[in-house]
């Protein structure tokens, strides 16, 4: 039992380290360079943990939880500097660039939190499962684990459907069909009111569509601060103010889609966003009865947020959108 559980925990550690590293460190943005990113994000952490965990006997399940966690935490924080130093060297050799100290520290904190939480949870699960006197606790724990798995699996279906259904309806600015209006979905604004890079790209794409004669109107949709920032960008790009429609009620993608048909009766819309976001946006617009196409405004430069993190967020956001759509249909 101990040997099988130790092997299972070891494999679980490798999976958790890989996922954590990809979520927190993956830097490929919209043009993935898989070999480079895996060598920077994942391999140093896996290698350092495998070596030190073996040397330090990190999977001795005969230990009490206190001693087990103490040993594993010490080994982890011994392997962490080795992993980060390896990343520093590898990145410099491959790309002649260096990692910043704040970035290294934040990444180390993030991956450490996720790993330690996993270690506590996996050891607790082992202790409950291996104790014949705790049958009720075992059932509760495994029911909880199964519930998490089912929720995660079910959440994938709306996103998978949106990707399969709408991939063919996404175009570049140059190849875009004509539409009544462009819907520019809001994006982040910094504390001083400066638009984020994502927002700049979306407004630029709308401007390009308008100047190419592919749309007649542009709807800037988001929160009040977002719309103000987008309006300033649009005017800077020389767009006609009379062709701009402001929607400050677009606090969510669904709200933005509802505004297009309820307040302005646009039924043929070009939705402008990044690829990872367009699948959900098109699904929501289609569910509201809006004939829509997606227009890519993908960034040319990497963002601090990782590509995997964006897609992971979209999985749950699309599932939430599906629930909202069904609730609206019930109300009607």
DSSP 157-174: HHHHHHHHHHGGGEE-TT
27 three-class SS: coil
One domain for residues 197 and 322: yes
What does the pLDDT read at residue 20? 80
Q: How far apart are CA 105 and CA 120, in angstroms?
A: 23
Q: How far apart are CA 314 and CA 283, in angstroms?
A: 12
What does the pLDDT read at residue 16? 87
One domain for residues 109 and 200: no
Show the low-confidence residues of the chain (pLDDT under 70).
1, 23-37, 95, 97, 99, 132-138, 141-142, 144-145, 299-309, 330-332
The helix (run of H) or strand (run of E) holding residue 311 is helix 307-331
One domain for residues 92 and 172: no
Radius of gyration over every alpha carbon of the chain, rounded to an integer in angstroms: 24
One domain for residues 234 and 104: no
One domain for residues 118 and 188: no
Q: Which CATH number fits the domain that encloses residue 299?
A: 3.40.50.620
Tokens 């875009």 locate to 176
pLDDT tens track for 152-185: 777 788 888 888 888 889 998 888 888 888 899 8
Q: How far apart are CA 243 and CA 265, in angstroms?
A: 15
One domain for residues 172 and 268: yes
In a domain, 61, yes or no: yes
In a domain, 296, yes or no: yes
Where among 85, 111, 130 does a domain terminate?
Answer: 130
43 near 94, Cβ under 8 Å?
no
277 near 314, Cβ under 8 Å?
yes
What is the count of structural domains for the chain?
Answer: 2
What does the pLDDT read at residue 87? 82
In a domain, 146, yes or no: no
What does the pLDDT read at residue 302? 52
Q: Which of 55, 61, 111 is nearest to 81 (CA)?
A: 111
What does the pLDDT read at residue 79? 93
What does the pLDDT read at residue 330? 67
Q: How far apart are CA 177 and CA 245, in angstroms?
A: 21
Q: How far apart are CA 126 and CA 306, in angstroms?
A: 33
What does the pLDDT read at residue 31? 39
One domain for residues 109 and 217: no
Sheet containing strand 268-273, edge to edge, reads 170-171, 291-296, 268-273, 181-185, 217-221, 244-247
In a domain, 152, yes or no: no
Q: How far apart are CA 114 and CA 310, in angstroms?
A: 18
In a domain, 261, yes or no: yes
Q: How far apart are CA 316 and CA 321, in angstroms?
A: 9
Where among 80, 105, 130 does a domain terminate?
Answer: 130
117 near 31, Cβ under 8 Å?
no
Where among 130, 159, 178 does a domain terminate?
Answer: 130
DSSP character string of 173-188: TTTPPP-SEEEEE---
pTM: 0.62
In a domain, 135, yes or no: no
Please give the residue range of the domain that contains residue 230: 167-331
């Amino acid at each position: 039992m101990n040997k099988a559980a130790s092997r299972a925990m070891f494999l679980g550690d490798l999976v958790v380290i890989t996922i954590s590293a990809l979520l927190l460190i993956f830097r490929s943005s919209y043009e993935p360079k898989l070999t480079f990113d895996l060598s920077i994000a994942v391999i140093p952490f896996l290698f350092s943990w495998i070596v030190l965990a073996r040397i330090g006997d990190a999977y001795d399940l005969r230990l009490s939880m206190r001693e087990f966690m103490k040993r594993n935490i010490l080994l982890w924080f011994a392997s962490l500097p080795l992993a980060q130093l390896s990343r520093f060297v590898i990145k410099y050799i491959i790309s002649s660039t260096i990692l910043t100290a704040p970035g290294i520290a934040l990444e180390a904190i993030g991956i450490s939190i996720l790993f330690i939480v996993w270690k506590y949870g996996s050891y607790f699960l082992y202790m409950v499962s291996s104790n014949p006197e705790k049958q009720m606790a075992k059932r509760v724990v495994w029911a909880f684990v199964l519930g998490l798995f089912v929720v995660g699996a079910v959440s994938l279906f709306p996103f998978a459907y949106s990707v399969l259904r709408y991939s063919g309806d996404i175009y570049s600015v140059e190849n875009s069909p004509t539409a009544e209006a462009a819907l520019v979905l809001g994006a982040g604004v910094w504390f001083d009111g400066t638009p984020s890079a994502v927002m700049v790209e979306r407004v630029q794409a709308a401007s390009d569509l308008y100047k190419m004669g592919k749309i007649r109107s542009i709807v800037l949709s988001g929160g009040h601060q977002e719309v103000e920032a987008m309006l300033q960008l649009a005017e800077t790009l020389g767009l006609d103010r009379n062709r701009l429609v402001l929607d400050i009620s677009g606090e969510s993608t669904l709200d933005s889609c509802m505004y297009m048909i309820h307040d302005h009766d646009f039924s043929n819309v070009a939705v402008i966003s990044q690829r990872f976001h367009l699948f959900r946006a098109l699904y929501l617009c289609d569910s509201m009865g809006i004939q829509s196409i997606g227009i890519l405004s993908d960034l040319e430069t990497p963002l601090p947020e990782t590509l995997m993190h964006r897609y992971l967020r979209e999985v749950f956001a699309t599932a939430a959108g599906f629930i909202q759509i069904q609730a609206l249909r019930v109300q009607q």
